[in-house]
Structure 1
Amino acid sequence: MSPERFARINEMLDNRQPDLTLCLDRVHKTNNIAAVIRTADAVGIHQVHAVWPDIEMRVSGNTASGSQQWVKTIKHYHMDDAQQAFRAQGMQILATNFSEDAVDFREIDYTRPTAIILGNEHDGVSLEGIAAADQQIIIPMIGMVQSLNVSVASALIMYEAQRQRQAAGMYGSRKLDDDYCQIKLFEQGHPIYAKACKRKNIPYPAVDEQGQIAADDIWWEKMRAPDFHAAV
């Protein structure tokens, strides 16, 4: 791994915000899902949740531009499962909804641990999602239309959260555990070796402070051994 690549990955890891997340409530258009993930990566969101009760979710790689490698999508079959995950992390839960109970999204304190529920392209946030929320939020609009594309709406909210968190000095201090960071450094810094480890069922080695593989002779011997699976 080059020093530049090593520094870039470490900078990303240092800016991840594990206590800020999104929950896509039955969003089904793959290009919208991918666009949300791409913006999530851009503002330092670590994971995105998706309530997907019926079919497997797919992400459009062209729209995501590889960001799905950096932002994990956690699938839930029911909103209750997602809600429990957020409550376990002490998160306030927000839901985008056009109602009298909704407040301007900019009035929210996003420096608190926060999960933001966004609805699908046709029905918006489900009744279960609204019931799970501590607060409903809205993006004020003065034109003829009353809703934005989910990827656009999510981007506005995410960048407001980023603005508040940057002002509060919440970026630049690593909050992720070392095991996860080691995995990302190895998989993204040494992708050929990472694929070989998966094929040969070899544990990942450590990555040292220069970004290089820190492995003993036994690991290297296993890595250099004939790969029978690759020949099949």
Structure 2
Amino acid sequence: MIRLNAQELRELEEKKAKGETREIRRNPLYFILENIYDTYNIGGLFRLADALAIEKIYLCGTTEIPPNTRIKKASIGTYKVVDWEYRKSVSEAIDDCNSQLVTRNFSDTNAKLQVKSYKLQVIAVEQHSQSIDYRKTDYRFPLALIFGNESFGIQKETLKFADQIVEIPMWGINKSLNVIVSAGIVSYWAISKL
């Protein structure tokens, strides 16, 4: 498969981008972003989503959407090759994921890929009294990972939609990690369980 550098991605036409990526086997993973404030973080999450070949990103609430200039810059054009949609709320995004699963058979795309169920597992990545270490949960696919606002995290009402809440252990004095770093750690760990 052809890999494109940053300049090639930035210059890639959107129509051509969708055609170029049609052949890529997508992993049964979804990112649901709730009220992400920093557009550079959003762009970075598109870049991560492309690296992981995830199914789709849902941008929810006050999260900016492409073609925002800073998202375009930070994503190096990957917003053109990663499927994404805007939804007002996380619950709408979860409903959309579930409706797509009815017609999608992930195991058809590659004999090596075995999806254990067609029920979407929803995991919130958040520091919470009920969260567990991200390495100790049982990841099932298809999987949606929810990431929240850089300052306030995931809304309490949204956590009710999660089957599990996970967090990354912190050993220093800093309480949290950047949302892109957190997404990278948890999503690569989850994909390794596929």
TM-score, normalisation: structure 1: 0.62
Aligned-partner Cα distance in 1 for 2:132–2:122: 14
The equivalent residue for 1:70 is 81
Q: Which amino acid aligns with 1:137?
A: V
Going from structure 1 to structure 2, the CA distance change for 1:12 and 1:72 (only over 3 Å counts) comes to: closer
Q: CA RMSD in A?
A: 2.4
Going from structure 1 to structure 2, the CA distance change for 1:102 and 1:39 (only over 3 Å counts) comes to: same
The equivalent residue for 1:137 is 166
Q: Which has the larger radius of gyration?
A: 1
1:56-105 Cα distance to aligned partner (Å, 9 max, x none): 56352221111111112211112221121234332111111212211111
Task: State, as a whole percentage, how many aligned pairs show the same letter.
Answer: 27
The equivalent residue for 2:188 is 159
Count of aligned pairs between the two proteins = 159
* Gap runs ≥5 in structure 1: 166-232
Which structure 2 residues correspond to residues 7-46 of structure 1 after superposition, within 5 A?
Answer: 13-17=23-27, 19-46=28-55
Aligned-partner Cα distance in 2 for 1:12–1:114: 21
The equivalent residue for 2:97 is 86
TM-score, normalisation: structure 2: 0.73
State the SS of the aligned residue for 2:193.
Answer: helix
Q: Which amino acid aligns with 1:68?
A: Y
Aligned-partner Cα distance in 2 for 1:24–1:33: 8
* Gap runs ≥5 in structure 2: 4-18, 102-118
Aligned-partner Cα distance in 1 for 2:174–2:186: 18
1:179-201 Cα distance to aligned partner (Å, 9 max, x none): xxxxxxxxxxxxxxxxxxxxxxx
Q: Which amino acid aligns with 1:22?
A: F
Between structures 1 and 2, the one with greater helix share: 1
Aligned-partner Cα distance in 2 for 1:101–1:128: 14
